[in-house]
């Protein structure tokens, strides 16, 4: 899954490295108030989607702000794109989507992206081209001349992502990118993140929504009370190593009985035999797709299949 990671003939390029990174918030008198981050050691490679996972208050946003140089570490160091995180010049190569989308409500979508392009001193022709490309990417071309105050939460979130990409960054930091979105908007946001990975971008994504991280991330780090509790590839961390799953189609009940007898004869333990399930998100999106394709037709006779 990872691009440029674990390839046998290439040394992976390090984009972000933290060493003993610690942040302590103090009160007016200088006394320790909150230890938001404790001795974080982390390495993130070029071309991967890395997820920072944890409950609210676990240190995810603090980590983001330390990497951006918006906060200064109490101890330790963060190296981002080959520079110390406190060197703001490296932010020219970074895109950032904060947890809350702060946009000027009376600007249109086009004007918003043009404004952020000016902050990077982009020539007018480049701004126009980049604005058109990004509005197309996030599906807002049709709403490009509407004021942001008329945008839905999902539209504003997608425009926020577009502004984070205006400078064509190498590293993208996304803080709770799907917050407040409905299932359709959430799926669209995750698809956009995967498309950015295909373009070779490195993405760090903070979230407390487990399904979002599982769907798009190559590796994850789990934070709790400011400490890194787990680190690894998603597929490896989720694998239940002492259970083997067998899936097959065709045959009849006799075949299932034969399989059960073989497992029991070899002293195996059967935990479950039945039909596989999908996720609620996938079921919801499938129903929406089928409803759009066949207006007026009920998709199925009930979620349970018996009309209840």
3-state secondary structure 24-61: EEECCCCCEEEEEEEEEEEEEECCCEEEEECCCCCCHH
Distances (CA, A) of 228 to 176, 215, 271: 18, 21, 33
pLDDT at 2 over 60: no
Domains with residue ranges and CATH for the chain: 14-238 (3.40.50.300), 247-300 (no CATH)
pLDDT at 131 over 50: yes
Among candidate residues 116, 157, 110, the one with its CA nearest the CA of residue 136: 110
- Could you give the 3-state DSSP secondary structure of residue 222? strand
pLDDT at 283 over 60: no
SS3 content of the chain, % helix, strand, coil (to 5): 35, 25, 40
pLDDT, tens only, 148-197: 999 988 888 889 999 999 999 999 999 988 887 888 888 888 998 999 99
pLDDT, tens only, 19-49: 999 999 887 777 778 888 999 999 999 999 9
pLDDT at 238 over 70: no
At 206, list the tokens: 């903070």
Confidence of residue 75 (pLDDT cuts 50, 70, 90): very high
pLDDT, tens only, 191-216: 989 999 999 999 999 887 777 888 88
Stronger pLDDT, 214 or 108, i.e. the higher one: 108
pLDDT at 54 over 70: yes
Give residue 242's pLDDT: 63
Stronger pLDDT, 267 or 90, i.e. the higher one: 90
**For the residues 244-266, what does the mean pLDDT come to?**
69
């Amino acid at each position: 899954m990872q691009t440029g990671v674990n390839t046998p003939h290439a040394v992976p390029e390090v984009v972000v490295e933290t060493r003993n990174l610690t942040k302590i918030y103090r009160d007016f008198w200088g006394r320790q108030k909150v230890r938001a981050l404790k001795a974080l050691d982390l390495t993130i490679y070029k071309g991967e989607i890395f997820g920072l996972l944890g409950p609210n208050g676990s240190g995810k946003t603090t980590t983001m702000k330390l990497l951006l140089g918006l906060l200064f570490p109490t101890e330790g160091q963060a190296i981002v794109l080959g520079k110390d995180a406190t060197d703001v010049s490296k932010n020219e190569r970074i895109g950032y989507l904060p947890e809350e989308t702060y946009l000027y409500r009376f600007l249109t979508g086009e004007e918003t992206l043009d404004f952020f392009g000016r902050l990077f001193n982009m020539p007018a022709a480049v701004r126009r081209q980049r604005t058109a490309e990004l509005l197309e990417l996030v599906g807002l071309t049709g709403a490009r001349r509407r004021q942001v105050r008329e945008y839905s939460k999902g539209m504003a979130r997608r425009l926020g992502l577009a502004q984070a990409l205006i400078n064509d960054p190498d590293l993208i930091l996304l803080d709770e990118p799907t917050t407040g979105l409905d299932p359709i908007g959430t799926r669209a946001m995750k698809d956009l993140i995967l498309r950015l990975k295909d373009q070779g971008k490195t993405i760090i994504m903070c979230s407390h929504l487990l399904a979002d991280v599982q769907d798009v991330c190559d590796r994850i780090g789990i934070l709790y009370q400011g400490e890194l509790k787990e680190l690894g590839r998603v597929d490896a961390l989720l694998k239940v190593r002492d259970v083997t799953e067998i899936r097959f189609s065709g045959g009849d009940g006799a075949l299932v009985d034969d399989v059960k007898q073989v497992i029991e004869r070899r002293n195996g333990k059967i935990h479950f035999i039945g039909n596989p399930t999908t996720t609620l998100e996938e079921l919801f999106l499938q129903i929406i797709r089928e409803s759009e394709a066949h207006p007026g037709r009920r998709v199925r006779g009930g979620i349970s299949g018996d009309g209840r």
